Amino acid sequence: MEKGLTARNPDAALRHSRLLLLEQLQQREKEQSILLHVGSKIANARERSDLWDIITVQLLNLLGAQYYTLCLINEDGVTHTPYLHSQEKSIRTRAKDSPIVHAGHPIEDGIFNVALASNEPVIFDLEMLMKVKNIPPYIINWYNSDIREMMVVKICNGKEARGVLYLYAQEHGSFTVDKFNLLLGIADQLGTGICNIRALETIQQQLEAINKYKQQLEQENLYLQEEQKLSSRFSEMIGSSAEMQKVCRLLSQVAMADSTILILGETGTGKELIARAIHHASARRNKLMIKVNCAALPANLIESELFGHEKGSFTGALEKRVGKFELANNSSLFLDEIGELPLELQAKLLRVLQEKEIERIGGKGTIKVNVRIIVATNRNLEKEVQAGRFRSDLYYRLNVVPITLPPLRKRKEDIPALVSHFIERYAQNAGKKINNISHKAMEMLMGYDWPGNIRELEHLIERTVLLTNTSSIKEVLLPAGAKKAGTYHEEEFVVKPLDEMEREYILKVIKHCKGRISGPNGAAVKLNMPSTTLTSKMQRLGIKKEHFVQEEE
């Protein structure tokens, strides 16, 4: 009919072809302006979500599609995975799951490779595809989400193919050849945009990794500084009582040997100080002693703390971690509060002590370690063994050289020297000149029973020094309920579980520090422990912010 018209009326034919040309020109102009608009948006995109907005809001409708997936070629060069896609909630298969399959698919899946091989977009009829054998699972899912037509186009950066944009429509005939030019232009701009954003993402990831590493180093540095501060204190060990002299003699006899040491004694009697003294008197003194508080960490973290883990060995193991056993190689490892070690880990510790090698969690092989073990506990380990809470084989393995520290009430003759020592230390810290203590105050100190031992005495003196504005300490403020000198009777002593006492005491100190945990005036400094240890103790003892905040009000 057209031909007939042309033959009969050449003018009409000319007009008609001019009209067509005009239409094409207008179409081109429209496409150019869309491309310009979309291009500037893509060029300004800084994040993946910006691209998501552009494709979802500006392009889908324009190209006649309802949904899309943009898949990129993986580093292995043989698989591809979705990088951007329509909101999964908005699409569901008949079985109510998402048609976006996130696992890697082979590039040679009969669709992706076809798009890569073509310099033009390719349109697929999904009904036809469903008849083909070995069709990729994502096509089946899209079909089950009522998609009937798909248009794919290669995404390149320059000449290099990077992925494929899949467009999906519910109606046959949604995609037509007249959209090819526009789609090719968009695909070109998307290619450049995606590569820029991926480069930014990589930089971001690297920055995050660097920051994390920096934080880790800072934490380690803090730990080492605290350890160093503590280790310099070992020389400040006071005690000329017969009991303490016995301990010192034993210490000097066993320090040089590599034998395992078990330090027993009530809380605050100086077990850690003795552990440090042993390390410093040993041949390993040039390396820092490493300390692990077995009560400060939840059971599931102690294993990784002790033995380390490989990256990805459990949820949360984002980075490889060297355990304290490895850190303590050729040095001493002080396992404080060993009585709190969970039974399962007791078995692992025993194996390490016997084999002298460790295995990181998720690790492929064993690592030889040369570590001198010093352990301490305020529990009666024999009773713990009888109660089935402590393995007898580990107990015998640890009980090579036991050192028992006497409680302060059994070596009261050490109190005056300790008091002078602590007055000097805390007066110096506070910039005060205090060089005397009244007879009455000393009598009170001598008469008190010191359930918290030297730590309790130390904190009392610290508090007293802070409250004293003269050169002499006239009186001391013993805990409420404490008896005056010489009037203490054992039967009146209120027996409380250690945990409860510890909880009460920590709460008091935090309150005294106005709720501050870390920092120079925080509770951790006052309690002479790292703030991380204090936080863990607080968690273990169920001390929450509201407890001390409420008490403060």
List residues near ligand ATP by CB under 6 A.
233, 236-239, 265, 267-273, 336, 376, 378, 418, 421, 454-455, 458, 528
- Distance in Å from the first CA to the final CA of the chain: 96
Q: CB 528 → ligand ATP: shortest distance, Å?
A: 4
Q: For residue 205, what are its two tokens?
A: 């990831």
**Do 274 and 391 touch, CB atoms closer than 8 A?**
no
Q: CB 357 → ligand ATP: shortest distance, Å?
A: 29
Smaller CB distance to ligand ATP: residue 145 or 293?
Answer: 293
Smaller CB distance to ligand ATP: residue 174 or 536?
Answer: 536
Smaller CB distance to ligand ATP: residue 189 or 378?
Answer: 378
Helix (H) or strand (E) holding 24: helix 10-44
User: Which DSSP category does 162 fall into?
Assistant: E
CA angle 333, 337, 339 (to 5 degrees): 115
Other beta carbons within 10 angstroms of residue 438's beta carbon come to: 13
Q: CB 105 → ligand ATP: shortest distance, Å?
A: 57
Side-chain half-sphere exposure of 360, counting CA atoms within 13 A = 21
Q: For residue 386, what are its two tokens?
A: 């009888």
Q: CB 353 → ligand ATP: shortest distance, Å?
A: 21
Q: CB 268 → ligand ATP: shortest distance, Å?
A: 5
Q: For residue 48, what are its two tokens?
A: 């993946």
The span from the CA of 301 to the CA of 305, in Å, is 6
What contacts 486, CB < 8 A, 6 or more positions away? 443, 447
Distance of CA 328 to CAs 274, 287, 331, 372, Å?
18, 8, 5, 8
The span from the CA of 411 to the CA of 395, in Å, is 28
Smaller CB distance to ligand ATP: residue 405 or 476?
Answer: 405
**Residue of 379, 373, 364 lying closest to 397 (CA atoms):** 373
Smaller CB distance to ligand ATP: residue 91 or 457?
Answer: 457
**Three-state helix/strand/coil letters over 483-494:** CCCCCCCHHHCC
Smaller CB distance to ligand ATP: residue 242 or 318?
Answer: 242
Q: What's the CA dihedral at 11, 15, 16, 22 to 10 degrees?
A: 160
Smaller CB distance to ligand ATP: residue 454 or 476?
Answer: 454
| Residue closest to ligand ATP (Cβ) | 270
Q: CB 454 → ligand ATP: shortest distance, Å?
A: 4
Smaller CB distance to ligand ATP: residue 113 or 528?
Answer: 528
Q: CB 456 → ligand ATP: shortest distance, Å?
A: 9
Phi-psi region of 338 (alpha: psi -120 to 50; beta: other; left: phi over 0): alpha
Backbone angles phi, psi at 73, to 5 degrees: -70, 130
Backbone angles phi, psi at 156, to 5 degrees: -120, 155
Smaller CB distance to ligand ATP: residue 338 or 349?
Answer: 338
Q: CB 397 → ligand ATP: shortest distance, Å?
A: 21
The span from the CA of 413 to the CA of 87, in Å, is 77
Distance of CA 273 to CAs 59, 225, 237, 334, 515, Å?
71, 17, 7, 11, 28
Q: CB 506 → ligand ATP: shortest distance, Å?
A: 11
State the angle between helix axes of 180-231 and 10-44 in degrees (0 to 180), rounded to the nearest 10.
0
**Residue of 503, 507, 506, 505 lying closest to 551 (CA atoms):** 507
Q: CB 205 → ligand ATP: shortest distance, Å?
A: 42
What contacts 36, CB < 8 A, 6 or more positions away? none
Q: CB 360 → ligand ATP: shortest distance, Å?
A: 28
Smaller CB distance to ligand ATP: residue 323 or 339?
Answer: 339
Q: CB 239 → ligand ATP: shortest distance, Å?
A: 5
